[in-house]
């Protein structure tokens, strides 16, 4: 890994990426790489064919690679007009707090901005809202509450 705590990227950064890192907006991320990245932060396993379908059906997918290792990922679903929602924002633990998550979010929001979508939402896991607030996300604006209805078929 050739990243240091000094490397910090912001939305307007002209700084080049470290040589070893590359950014992809390709939806065809190998499902085993996504599985492995998600497992590295303790997320439960998803079936590879379902991962492939979910990525194909997503509006935007961003992956960050250290050579051939997937180290950062997020995707967004949406209608290309009114709304988009960010899902599966994840950075490999040994790459966290180095700017990779910021790079993922900046790339994802940049792609959503191409559609001029006015509202982007997400569900922040406990302890991560401080990360999202850096990109302008607010918790419960005007008292709006997220609500959930879960089915447990997978
Ligand atoms: C949350 C997560 C994606 C952040 O990625 P990261 O690569 O560590 O984030 P970065 O290094 O790019 O940090 C960008 C900024 O957010 C801050 N930040 C990062 N994680 C934070 C957190 N959990 N709480 C508050 N601030 C945080 C950083 O300090 C940095 O601030 P700065 O710009 O002022 O220096 C990463 O910790 C992760 O994958 N966690 C496990 C999976 C997870 O919980 N995902 C979220 C699901 S909703």
pTM for the structure as a whole: 0.92
pLDDT-based confidence at 18, cuts 50/70/90?
Answer: confident
Length of the chain: 154
Residue 139 near residue 122, CB atoms below 8 Å: no
Report which of 115, 73, 109 is spatially closest to residue 91, judged by C-alpha positions.
73
Catalytic residue check, 123: no
Q: Which two tokens stand for residue 142?
A: 């005007």
Domain count, the chain: 1
Domain membership flag for residue 144: no
Angle between helices 48-56 and 31-40 (to 10 degrees): 100
Q: Could you tell me if the CB of 37 is within 6 A of ligand 1?
A: no
Domain membership flag for residue 86: yes
Domain membership flag for residue 11: no
| 74-87 per-position pLDDT tens digit | 999 999 999 999 99
Report which of 139, 152, 58, 72 is spatially closest to residue 105, judged by C-alpha positions.
72
**How many A from CA of 92 to the centre of ligand 1?**
11
* CATH number of the CATH domain containing 31: 3.40.630.30
| 81-136 per-position pLDDT tens digit | 999 999 999 999 999 999 999 999 999 999 999 999 999 999 999 999 999 999 99
Residue-number span of the structural domain to which 46 is assigned = 21-135
In the chain, the percentage of residues whose pLDDT exceeds 90 is: 82
Domain membership flag for residue 150: no
């Amino acid at each position: 890994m050739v990243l240091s705590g000094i490397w910090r990227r912001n939305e307007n950064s002209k700084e080049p990426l470290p040589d070893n890192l590359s950014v992809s907006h390709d939806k065809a991320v190998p499902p085993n790489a996504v599985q492995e990245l998600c497992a590295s932060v303790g997320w439960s396993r998803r079936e590879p064919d379902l991962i492939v379908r979910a990525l194909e059906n997503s509006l935007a997918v961003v992956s960050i690679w250290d050579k051939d290792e997937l180290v950062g990922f997020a995707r967004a679903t949406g209608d290309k007009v009114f709304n988009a929602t960010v899902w599966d924002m994840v950075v490999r633990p040994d790459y966290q707090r180095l700017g990779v998550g910021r790079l993922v979010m900046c790339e994802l929001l940049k792609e959503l901005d191409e559609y001029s979508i006015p509202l982007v939402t997400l569900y922040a896991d406990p302890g991560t809202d401080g990360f999202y607030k850096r990109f302008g996300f607010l918790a419960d604006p005007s008292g709006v509450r997220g609500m959930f209805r879960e089915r447990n078929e997978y």
